[in-house]
Structure 1
Amino acid sequence: MLITPKDIIYQDESIIAVNKPVDLPVHKNDFMPADAVYLTKEVGQLTGVSVFPVHRLDAKTSGVIVLALTREIAGILSRQFEQREVKKTYLLVSKGLPGEGVFDSPVLIKKKKKRQAAETAYKTLSTVETGICYKQEVNVPISLVRAMPQTGRWHQLRQHFAMNRTDILGDTQHGDWTLNKIMTEVTGVKRLLLHAASLEFQHPQSGQKISLEAEIPEAFDRVLTQLAGLQYSLA
Protein backbone atom coordinates (compact mmCIF):
# COMPACT_ATOMS: atom_id res chain seq x y z
CA MET A 1 0.00 0.00 0.00
CA LEU A 2 1.10 3.58 -0.66
CA ILE A 3 -0.50 4.79 2.59
CA THR A 4 0.79 3.27 5.84
CA PRO A 5 0.04 3.98 9.52
CA LYS A 6 3.04 6.33 9.71
CA ASP A 7 1.35 8.57 7.13
CA ILE A 8 -1.59 9.25 9.45
CA ILE A 9 -1.15 12.69 11.01
CA TYR A 10 -4.37 12.85 13.02
CA GLN A 11 -7.47 10.71 13.57
CA ASP A 12 -10.58 10.86 15.75
CA GLU A 13 -14.20 9.74 15.46
CA SER A 14 -15.05 12.26 12.73
CA ILE A 15 -11.92 13.09 10.68
CA ILE A 16 -8.63 11.63 9.58
CA ALA A 17 -5.66 13.52 8.14
CA VAL A 18 -2.76 11.97 6.24
CA ASN A 19 0.50 13.04 4.65
CA LYS A 20 -0.31 12.28 1.01
CA PRO A 21 2.61 11.03 -1.07
CA VAL A 22 3.40 12.64 -4.39
CA ASP A 23 1.70 11.30 -7.55
CA LEU A 24 -1.27 9.80 -5.68
CA PRO A 25 -4.70 11.11 -6.81
CA VAL A 26 -7.15 11.94 -4.03
CA HIS A 27 -10.09 10.12 -5.57
CA LYS A 28 -11.01 8.09 -8.65
CA ASN A 29 -11.97 9.75 -11.91
CA ASP A 30 -13.43 8.48 -15.16
CA PHE A 31 -10.03 8.19 -16.81
CA MET A 32 -8.62 5.69 -14.30
CA PRO A 33 -8.71 1.89 -14.74
CA ALA A 34 -10.91 -0.16 -12.42
CA ASP A 35 -7.93 -1.24 -10.30
CA ALA A 36 -6.43 2.26 -9.98
CA VAL A 37 -4.84 3.35 -6.71
CA TYR A 38 -6.08 6.58 -5.11
CA LEU A 39 -6.02 8.18 -1.68
CA THR A 40 -9.56 7.58 -0.43
CA LYS A 41 -9.33 3.93 -1.47
CA GLU A 42 -5.96 3.49 0.26
CA VAL A 43 -7.06 5.18 3.49
CA GLY A 44 -10.32 3.25 3.52
CA GLN A 45 -8.51 -0.07 3.15
CA LEU A 46 -5.98 0.88 5.83
CA THR A 47 -8.54 2.00 8.41
CA GLY A 48 -11.50 -0.19 7.50
CA VAL A 49 -13.88 2.78 7.33
CA SER A 50 -15.36 4.89 4.55
CA VAL A 51 -13.70 8.26 4.03
CA PHE A 52 -14.91 11.35 2.17
CA PRO A 53 -12.68 14.06 0.63
CA VAL A 54 -13.48 17.64 1.64
CA HIS A 55 -10.88 19.65 -0.31
CA ARG A 56 -8.62 19.34 -3.34
CA LEU A 57 -4.94 18.46 -3.45
CA ASP A 58 -3.39 17.86 -6.84
CA ALA A 59 -1.98 14.36 -7.44
CA LYS A 60 1.49 15.82 -8.05
CA THR A 61 1.41 17.73 -4.73
CA SER A 62 2.37 15.97 -1.50
CA GLY A 63 1.35 16.89 2.01
CA VAL A 64 -1.43 17.17 4.54
CA ILE A 65 -4.99 16.45 3.50
CA VAL A 66 -8.01 15.99 5.76
CA LEU A 67 -10.79 13.48 5.09
CA ALA A 68 -14.18 13.11 6.75
CA LEU A 69 -15.57 9.87 8.16
CA THR A 70 -19.23 10.73 7.43
CA ARG A 71 -21.03 12.65 4.70
CA GLU A 72 -22.37 15.10 7.28
CA ILE A 73 -18.88 15.93 8.55
CA ALA A 74 -17.67 16.22 4.95
CA GLY A 75 -20.33 18.84 4.29
CA ILE A 76 -19.36 20.90 7.34
CA LEU A 77 -15.66 20.84 6.47
CA SER A 78 -16.26 21.53 2.78
CA ARG A 79 -18.11 24.71 3.70
CA GLN A 80 -15.13 25.89 5.75
CA PHE A 81 -12.91 25.50 2.69
CA GLU A 82 -15.47 27.13 0.38
CA GLN A 83 -15.86 30.10 2.74
CA ARG A 84 -12.06 30.50 3.02
CA GLU A 85 -12.02 29.83 6.76
CA VAL A 86 -9.16 27.32 6.47
CA LYS A 87 -5.53 28.48 6.62
CA LYS A 88 -3.45 26.59 4.06
CA THR A 89 0.33 26.81 3.96
CA TYR A 90 2.53 25.29 1.26
CA LEU A 91 6.27 24.97 0.84
CA LEU A 92 7.81 24.99 -2.62
CA VAL A 93 11.13 25.32 -4.39
CA SER A 94 11.13 27.94 -7.11
CA LYS A 95 13.40 29.34 -9.74
CA GLY A 96 14.72 32.83 -9.06
CA LEU A 97 14.10 35.27 -6.22
CA PRO A 98 10.36 35.63 -5.54
CA GLY A 99 10.87 37.83 -2.47
CA GLU A 100 7.73 38.52 -0.47
CA GLY A 101 4.30 39.75 -1.46
CA VAL A 102 1.01 38.72 -3.03
CA PHE A 103 0.31 37.35 -6.51
CA ASP A 104 -3.18 38.44 -7.58
CA SER A 105 -3.34 37.82 -11.32
CA PRO A 106 -6.37 35.84 -12.53
CA VAL A 107 -5.55 32.21 -13.30
CA LEU A 108 -6.91 29.86 -15.93
CA ILE A 109 -9.66 27.47 -14.87
CA LYS A 110 -9.11 24.51 -17.17
CA LYS A 111 -12.60 23.00 -17.08
CA LYS A 112 -14.30 26.37 -17.64
CA LYS A 113 -11.68 27.58 -20.15
CA LYS A 114 -11.66 31.04 -18.61
CA ARG A 115 -9.74 33.01 -16.01
CA GLN A 116 -10.88 33.71 -12.46
CA ALA A 117 -9.60 35.94 -9.68
CA ALA A 118 -6.95 34.32 -7.48
CA GLU A 119 -4.71 35.48 -4.65
CA THR A 120 -1.53 33.93 -3.21
CA ALA A 121 0.57 35.41 -0.41
CA TYR A 122 4.20 34.25 -0.44
CA LYS A 123 7.51 34.72 1.34
CA THR A 124 10.98 33.51 0.39
CA LEU A 125 12.53 31.58 3.27
CA SER A 126 16.00 30.91 1.84
CA THR A 127 17.90 31.09 -1.44
CA VAL A 128 20.87 29.19 -2.87
CA GLU A 129 23.08 30.61 -5.60
CA THR A 130 23.99 28.37 -8.55
CA GLY A 131 26.12 28.49 -11.66
CA ILE A 132 23.34 27.01 -13.77
CA CYS A 133 23.25 28.71 -17.19
CA TYR A 134 21.04 27.91 -20.21
CA LYS A 135 19.32 29.84 -22.99
CA GLN A 136 19.14 33.43 -21.67
CA GLU A 137 19.37 32.33 -18.02
CA VAL A 138 22.63 32.98 -16.14
CA ASN A 139 23.54 31.75 -12.64
CA VAL A 140 19.95 30.86 -11.81
CA PRO A 141 19.20 31.13 -8.05
CA ILE A 142 16.86 28.61 -6.40
CA SER A 143 14.55 29.55 -3.50
CA LEU A 144 12.59 27.80 -0.78
CA VAL A 145 9.27 29.64 -0.51
CA ARG A 146 6.26 29.59 1.79
CA ALA A 147 2.98 30.19 -0.03
CA MET A 148 -0.48 30.79 1.42
CA PRO A 149 -3.27 30.70 -1.17
CA GLN A 150 -6.25 32.85 -0.24
CA THR A 151 -8.32 31.24 -2.99
CA GLY A 152 -8.36 27.64 -4.21
CA ARG A 153 -8.21 27.72 -8.00
CA TRP A 154 -6.98 24.99 -10.33
CA HIS A 155 -3.15 24.82 -10.20
CA GLN A 156 -3.21 28.27 -8.61
CA LEU A 157 0.27 28.20 -7.08
CA ARG A 158 1.82 26.63 -10.14
CA GLN A 159 0.25 29.23 -12.42
CA HIS A 160 1.04 32.22 -10.21
CA PHE A 161 4.71 31.35 -9.84
CA ALA A 162 5.07 30.54 -13.55
CA MET A 163 3.44 33.86 -14.53
CA ASN A 164 6.06 35.68 -12.50
CA ARG A 165 8.99 33.71 -13.97
CA THR A 166 9.65 32.03 -10.64
CA ASP A 167 8.55 28.61 -11.86
CA ILE A 168 8.10 25.82 -9.32
CA LEU A 169 10.77 23.18 -9.92
CA GLY A 170 9.43 19.91 -11.27
CA ASP A 171 6.33 21.55 -12.77
CA THR A 172 6.05 19.87 -16.17
CA GLN A 173 2.82 21.65 -17.12
CA HIS A 174 3.42 25.32 -16.32
CA GLY A 175 7.12 25.43 -15.41
CA ASP A 176 10.62 25.59 -16.89
CA TRP A 177 11.25 22.28 -18.66
CA THR A 178 14.98 22.88 -19.12
CA LEU A 179 15.55 23.61 -15.44
CA ASN A 180 13.44 20.57 -14.52
CA LYS A 181 15.64 18.40 -16.72
CA ILE A 182 18.81 19.76 -15.12
CA MET A 183 17.36 19.19 -11.63
CA THR A 184 16.55 15.56 -12.39
CA GLU A 185 19.87 14.91 -14.11
CA VAL A 186 21.89 16.29 -11.18
CA THR A 187 19.81 15.19 -8.19
CA GLY A 188 17.72 12.27 -9.41
CA VAL A 189 14.58 14.06 -8.17
CA LYS A 190 11.70 13.87 -10.64
CA ARG A 191 8.67 15.38 -8.93
CA LEU A 192 6.86 18.65 -8.43
CA LEU A 193 8.51 20.44 -5.50
CA LEU A 194 5.22 21.61 -4.00
CA HIS A 195 4.13 20.39 -0.57
CA ALA A 196 1.04 21.12 1.52
CA ALA A 197 2.87 21.79 4.78
CA SER A 198 0.01 22.67 7.14
CA LEU A 199 -3.72 23.16 7.60
CA GLU A 200 -5.58 25.09 10.30
CA PHE A 201 -9.35 24.75 10.63
CA GLN A 202 -12.18 24.47 13.13
CA HIS A 203 -13.04 20.94 14.25
CA PRO A 204 -16.48 20.12 12.78
CA GLN A 205 -17.79 18.73 16.09
CA SER A 206 -15.91 20.31 19.00
CA GLY A 207 -15.34 23.68 17.34
CA GLN A 208 -11.73 23.67 18.57
CA LYS A 209 -8.89 24.92 16.39
CA ILE A 210 -7.02 22.05 14.73
CA SER A 211 -3.47 22.60 13.41
CA LEU A 212 -1.95 19.83 11.30
CA GLU A 213 1.52 19.64 9.77
CA ALA A 214 3.15 17.30 7.26
CA GLU A 215 6.93 16.87 7.34
CA ILE A 216 8.70 18.32 4.32
CA PRO A 217 9.90 15.64 1.87
CA GLU A 218 13.59 14.76 1.71
CA ALA A 219 13.63 15.67 -1.99
CA PHE A 220 13.39 19.38 -1.14
CA ASP A 221 16.60 19.39 0.89
CA ARG A 222 18.36 17.21 -1.68
CA VAL A 223 17.60 19.63 -4.51
CA LEU A 224 18.58 22.74 -2.53
CA THR A 225 21.79 21.12 -1.28
CA GLN A 226 22.94 19.59 -4.55
CA LEU A 227 22.13 22.60 -6.72
CA ALA A 228 23.82 25.09 -4.37
CA GLY A 229 26.97 26.33 -6.11
CA LEU A 230 26.51 23.91 -9.01
CA GLN A 231 28.38 24.87 -12.17
CA TYR A 232 26.25 23.76 -15.12
CA SER A 233 26.08 25.26 -18.58
CA LEU A 234 24.14 24.34 -21.69
CA ALA A 235 25.69 25.87 -24.77
Structure 2
Amino acid sequence: MNNPECLLPPILPPLQLLHLDERLAVVNKPAGLMVHDSKLARGEDDFLADRLREQLGRPIFLVHRLDRATSGCLLLAFDRESAGTLGKALMGGDVTKDYLAICRGWPAEEAFTVDHDLDGGPGKPVKKQAITHFQRVALGEIAVPVGEFSTSRYALLRCQPQTGRFRQIRRHLKHLSHHLIGDTSHGDGRHNRSFRMQGIHRMLLHAERLRFPHPDGGMMDVSAPVDGEFGKAMDLFGWR
Protein backbone atom coordinates (compact mmCIF):
# COMPACT_ATOMS: atom_id res chain seq x y z
CA MET A 1 0.00 0.00 0.00
CA ASN A 2 1.35 3.42 -0.92
CA ASN A 3 2.36 5.75 1.86
CA PRO A 4 0.02 8.80 1.62
CA GLU A 5 2.92 11.07 2.60
CA CYS A 6 4.75 10.05 -0.57
CA LEU A 7 1.89 11.47 -2.65
CA LEU A 8 2.07 14.93 -1.10
CA PRO A 9 3.89 17.67 -3.06
CA PRO A 10 7.26 18.66 -1.59
CA ILE A 11 7.26 21.55 0.87
CA LEU A 12 9.27 24.33 -0.74
CA PRO A 13 11.25 26.84 1.32
CA PRO A 14 9.87 30.40 1.28
CA LEU A 15 11.37 32.80 -1.23
CA GLN A 16 13.76 35.34 0.29
CA LEU A 17 12.18 38.79 0.52
CA LEU A 18 14.81 41.54 0.28
CA HIS A 19 12.27 44.32 0.80
CA LEU A 20 8.57 44.30 1.67
CA ASP A 21 6.06 47.09 2.23
CA GLU A 22 2.39 47.73 1.47
CA ARG A 23 3.08 48.78 -2.11
CA LEU A 24 5.81 46.47 -3.36
CA ALA A 25 8.39 43.80 -2.69
CA VAL A 26 11.81 42.79 -3.99
CA VAL A 27 12.49 39.06 -3.95
CA ASN A 28 15.78 37.19 -4.38
CA LYS A 29 14.85 34.93 -7.29
CA PRO A 30 16.56 31.52 -7.21
CA ALA A 31 18.44 30.35 -10.30
CA GLY A 32 16.53 27.73 -12.27
CA LEU A 33 13.03 28.94 -11.37
CA MET A 34 10.83 30.44 -14.10
CA VAL A 35 9.19 33.73 -13.19
CA HIS A 36 5.82 32.96 -14.80
CA ASP A 37 4.12 30.66 -17.30
CA SER A 38 5.04 31.29 -20.94
CA LYS A 39 5.73 29.55 -24.24
CA LEU A 40 9.18 28.68 -22.86
CA ALA A 41 7.70 26.78 -19.89
CA ARG A 42 7.47 23.46 -21.78
CA GLY A 43 4.92 21.85 -19.50
CA GLU A 44 6.40 23.08 -16.22
CA ASP A 45 4.09 23.95 -13.34
CA ASP A 46 6.41 25.61 -10.81
CA PHE A 47 6.64 29.40 -11.17
CA LEU A 48 7.93 32.15 -8.92
CA ALA A 49 4.78 34.25 -9.39
CA ASP A 50 2.55 31.41 -8.15
CA ARG A 51 4.81 30.69 -5.18
CA LEU A 52 4.80 34.35 -4.16
CA ARG A 53 1.01 34.66 -4.38
CA GLU A 54 0.70 31.69 -2.04
CA GLN A 55 3.52 32.84 0.26
CA LEU A 56 2.21 36.40 0.62
CA GLY A 57 -1.49 35.66 0.31
CA ARG A 58 -2.20 38.52 -2.06
CA PRO A 59 -2.17 39.38 -5.79
CA ILE A 60 1.15 40.39 -7.32
CA PHE A 61 2.08 42.36 -10.43
CA LEU A 62 5.51 41.70 -11.94
CA VAL A 63 7.35 44.90 -12.89
CA HIS A 64 10.11 43.19 -14.89
CA ARG A 65 11.46 39.71 -15.63
CA LEU A 66 14.58 37.63 -15.13
CA ASP A 67 15.63 34.63 -17.21
CA ARG A 68 15.03 31.25 -15.64
CA ALA A 69 18.76 30.66 -15.13
CA THR A 70 19.41 34.12 -13.63
CA SER A 71 19.18 34.77 -9.89
CA GLY A 72 18.76 37.94 -7.86
CA CYS A 73 16.62 41.06 -7.43
CA LEU A 74 13.12 40.89 -8.88
CA LEU A 75 10.67 43.76 -8.36
CA LEU A 76 6.91 43.29 -8.00
CA ALA A 77 3.96 45.42 -6.93
CA PHE A 78 0.79 44.62 -5.00
CA ASP A 79 -1.64 46.86 -6.90
CA ARG A 80 -2.09 48.08 -10.47
CA GLU A 81 -1.38 51.71 -9.62
CA SER A 82 2.01 50.91 -8.08
CA ALA A 83 2.83 48.52 -10.93
CA GLY A 84 2.01 51.24 -13.46
CA THR A 85 4.14 53.83 -11.65
CA LEU A 86 7.10 51.45 -11.41
CA GLY A 87 6.65 50.37 -15.03
CA LYS A 88 6.83 54.00 -16.18
CA ALA A 89 10.00 54.49 -14.11
CA LEU A 90 11.50 51.41 -15.76
CA MET A 91 10.61 52.58 -19.27
CA GLY A 92 11.87 56.08 -18.48
CA GLY A 93 15.33 54.87 -17.47
CA ASP A 94 14.89 55.68 -13.78
CA VAL A 95 15.52 52.08 -12.68
CA THR A 96 19.13 50.91 -12.44
CA LYS A 97 19.99 47.21 -12.49
CA ASP A 98 23.45 45.86 -11.66
CA TYR A 99 24.35 42.26 -12.45
CA LEU A 100 27.35 40.12 -11.56
CA ALA A 101 28.61 37.80 -14.29
CA ILE A 102 31.53 35.40 -14.61
CA CYS A 103 32.83 35.15 -18.17
CA ARG A 104 35.65 33.42 -20.00
CA GLY A 105 38.79 35.43 -20.74
CA TRP A 106 40.07 38.75 -19.50
CA PRO A 107 38.45 41.81 -21.10
CA ALA A 108 41.16 44.27 -22.14
CA GLU A 109 39.53 47.36 -20.66
CA GLU A 110 38.58 47.92 -17.05
CA ALA A 111 35.34 49.66 -18.04
CA PHE A 112 33.67 49.45 -21.45
CA THR A 113 30.31 49.73 -23.18
CA VAL A 114 28.76 47.46 -25.79
CA ASP A 115 26.35 49.12 -28.24
CA HIS A 116 25.24 46.22 -30.43
CA ASP A 117 21.72 45.85 -31.82
CA LEU A 118 19.74 42.74 -30.86
CA ASP A 119 16.51 41.19 -32.06
CA GLY A 120 13.64 40.50 -29.69
CA GLY A 121 14.14 36.75 -29.50
CA PRO A 122 12.13 33.93 -31.15
CA GLY A 123 9.50 35.30 -33.53
CA LYS A 124 10.74 38.90 -33.14
CA PRO A 125 13.36 39.39 -35.88
CA VAL A 126 13.46 43.21 -35.84
CA LYS A 127 16.70 44.44 -34.29
CA LYS A 128 16.74 47.34 -31.85
CA GLN A 129 19.51 49.25 -30.13
CA ALA A 130 20.95 47.41 -27.13
CA ILE A 131 23.49 49.01 -24.77
CA THR A 132 25.26 47.39 -21.83
CA HIS A 133 27.92 48.96 -19.60
CA PHE A 134 30.54 46.59 -18.17
CA GLN A 135 33.15 46.96 -15.44
CA ARG A 136 35.85 44.46 -14.53
CA VAL A 137 35.60 43.60 -10.84
CA ALA A 138 38.24 40.85 -10.63
CA LEU A 139 40.40 38.60 -12.79
CA GLY A 140 41.30 34.98 -12.13
CA GLU A 141 43.20 32.06 -13.63
CA ILE A 142 43.06 28.36 -12.80
CA ALA A 143 45.32 25.49 -13.85
CA VAL A 144 42.62 23.74 -15.86
CA PRO A 145 43.36 23.25 -19.57
CA VAL A 146 40.63 24.17 -22.05
CA GLY A 147 41.34 23.69 -25.74
CA GLU A 148 44.91 24.62 -26.67
CA PHE A 149 45.65 26.50 -23.43
CA SER A 150 47.15 24.93 -20.29
CA THR A 151 45.32 27.35 -17.98
CA SER A 152 41.94 29.08 -18.09
CA ARG A 153 41.29 32.77 -17.48
CA TYR A 154 38.02 34.20 -16.19
CA ALA A 155 36.67 37.57 -15.15
CA LEU A 156 34.06 38.76 -12.69
CA LEU A 157 32.11 41.59 -14.31
CA ARG A 158 29.55 44.07 -13.10
CA CYS A 159 27.03 44.61 -15.89
CA GLN A 160 24.53 47.45 -16.19
CA PRO A 161 22.09 47.15 -19.09
CA GLN A 162 20.86 50.52 -20.34
CA THR A 163 18.22 48.84 -22.50
CA GLY A 164 16.18 45.71 -21.86
CA ARG A 165 16.48 43.39 -24.85
CA PHE A 166 15.98 39.62 -24.84
CA ARG A 167 18.91 37.96 -23.00
CA GLN A 168 20.87 41.16 -23.54
CA ILE A 169 23.85 40.62 -21.22
CA ARG A 170 24.27 37.01 -22.30
CA ARG A 171 24.21 37.88 -25.99
CA HIS A 172 26.49 40.90 -25.62
CA LEU A 173 29.07 38.74 -23.84
CA LYS A 174 28.85 36.23 -26.69
CA HIS A 175 29.36 39.10 -29.15
CA LEU A 176 32.59 39.94 -27.30
CA SER A 177 33.69 36.26 -27.22
CA HIS A 178 33.74 36.56 -23.43
CA HIS A 179 31.02 33.96 -23.07
CA LEU A 180 29.01 33.77 -19.85
CA ILE A 181 29.85 30.66 -17.85
CA GLY A 182 27.00 28.16 -17.58
CA ASP A 183 25.03 29.68 -20.45
CA THR A 184 23.90 26.67 -22.48
CA SER A 185 22.34 28.81 -25.24
CA HIS A 186 24.96 31.51 -25.86
CA GLY A 187 28.01 30.26 -23.94
CA ASP A 188 31.06 28.09 -24.64
CA GLY A 189 30.42 24.41 -23.92
CA ARG A 190 34.08 23.67 -23.12
CA HIS A 191 34.17 26.19 -20.28
CA ASN A 192 30.72 25.18 -19.07
CA ARG A 193 31.90 21.58 -18.79
CA SER A 194 35.02 22.70 -16.92
CA PHE A 195 32.88 24.42 -14.27
CA ARG A 196 30.52 21.44 -14.03
CA MET A 197 33.55 19.32 -13.18
CA GLN A 198 34.03 21.69 -10.22
CA GLY A 199 30.41 21.10 -9.12
CA ILE A 200 29.11 24.39 -10.54
CA HIS A 201 26.13 23.75 -12.80
CA ARG A 202 24.20 27.03 -12.83
CA MET A 203 24.54 29.97 -15.19
CA LEU A 204 26.72 32.57 -13.50
CA LEU A 205 24.57 35.68 -13.90
CA HIS A 206 23.13 37.33 -10.78
CA ALA A 207 20.98 40.47 -10.48
CA GLU A 208 22.97 41.92 -7.60
CA ARG A 209 21.42 45.36 -7.09
CA LEU A 210 18.26 47.27 -7.96
CA ARG A 211 17.73 51.02 -7.54
CA PHE A 212 14.34 52.57 -8.27
CA PRO A 213 12.02 55.39 -7.19
CA HIS A 214 9.39 54.24 -4.69
CA PRO A 215 5.80 55.18 -5.69
CA ASP A 216 5.45 56.98 -2.35
CA GLY A 217 8.66 58.98 -2.87
CA GLY A 218 12.35 58.47 -2.23
CA MET A 219 14.85 56.12 -3.84
CA MET A 220 15.09 52.44 -3.01
CA ASP A 221 18.44 50.63 -3.13
CA VAL A 222 18.16 46.85 -2.70
CA SER A 223 20.91 44.22 -2.98
CA ALA A 224 20.70 40.42 -3.22
CA PRO A 225 23.39 38.06 -1.88
CA VAL A 226 24.70 35.42 -4.27
CA ASP A 227 23.68 31.82 -3.70
CA GLY A 228 25.98 29.01 -2.63
CA GLU A 229 26.84 27.84 -6.13
CA PHE A 230 27.72 31.32 -7.41
CA GLY A 231 29.73 31.84 -4.24
CA LYS A 232 31.55 28.56 -4.85
CA ALA A 233 32.57 29.83 -8.30
CA MET A 234 33.88 33.05 -6.75
CA ASP A 235 35.82 31.05 -4.16
CA LEU A 236 37.67 29.18 -6.93
CA PHE A 237 39.48 32.46 -7.62
CA GLY A 238 39.53 33.94 -4.12
CA TRP A 239 37.08 36.67 -5.10
CA ARG A 240 35.34 36.91 -1.71
TM-score normalized by structure 2? 0.87
- Corresponding pairs, count: 225
| Contact 2:73–2:208, Cα closer than 8 Å, also in 1 | yes
Q: CA deviation at 1:130?
A: 2.0
Q: Distance in 1 between matches of 2:199 and 2:33?
A: 20
Change (3 A) 1:115 1:136: farther
From 87, 107, 115, give the equivalent of 1:104.
Answer: 115
Q: Is the counterpart of residue 224 in structure 1 residue 234 in structure 2? A: yes
Report the counterpart of residue 214 of structure 2 in structure 1.
203
CA shift at 1:136, angstroms? 4.2
Residues in 1 aligned to 2:160 and 2:189: alpha-carbon distance in whole angstroms: 25
Equivalent position SS for 1:169: coil
Q: How well do the aligned residues superpose, as a CA RMSD in angstroms?
A: 1.9
Partner residue of 2:129? 117
CA distance in structure 2 between the partners assigned to 1:151 and 1:29 by the alignment: 22
Contact 1:93 1:220 in 2 (8 A): no
Q: Residues 152-171 of structure 1: matches in 2 within 5 Å?
A: 152-171=164-183
Runs of 4+ with >6 A deviation: none
| Residue identity in the other structure for 1:189 | I
Q: Which residue number corresponds to residue 188 of structure 1?
A: 199
Counterpart for residue 130 of structure 1: 142
Per the alignment, residue 4 of structure 1 pairs with 14
- Unpaired runs of 5+ in structure 1? 229-235
Contact 2:99-2:158 at 8 Å conserved across structures: yes
Aligned partner of 1:45 in structure 2 is 54
Partner residue, 1:233: none
Q: 1:189, 1:223 within 8 Å by CA — same for their partners in 2?
A: yes
Report the CA distance between 1:97 and its aligned residue.
1.0
SS of aligned partner of 1:132? coil
Structure 2 residue runs of 5 or longer lacking an equivalent are 1-10
TM-score, normalized by length of structure 1? 0.89
What do residues 118-163 of structure 1 show as CA deviations (whole Å, max 9, x unaligned)?
1111111111112333334452211111111111110000001111
Question: Which residue in 2 is equivalent to 1:27?
Answer: 36
SS in 2 for 1:160: helix
CA-to-aligned-CA distance 1:74-110 (integer Å, 9 cap, x gap): 1111111111110110011111112321111112321
Cα deviation, residue 216, structure 1: 1.6
Counterpart selection for 1:83 from 85, 92, 104: 92
Native 8 Å contact 1:104 1:118 kept in 2:
yes
- SS of match in other structure, 1:42: helix
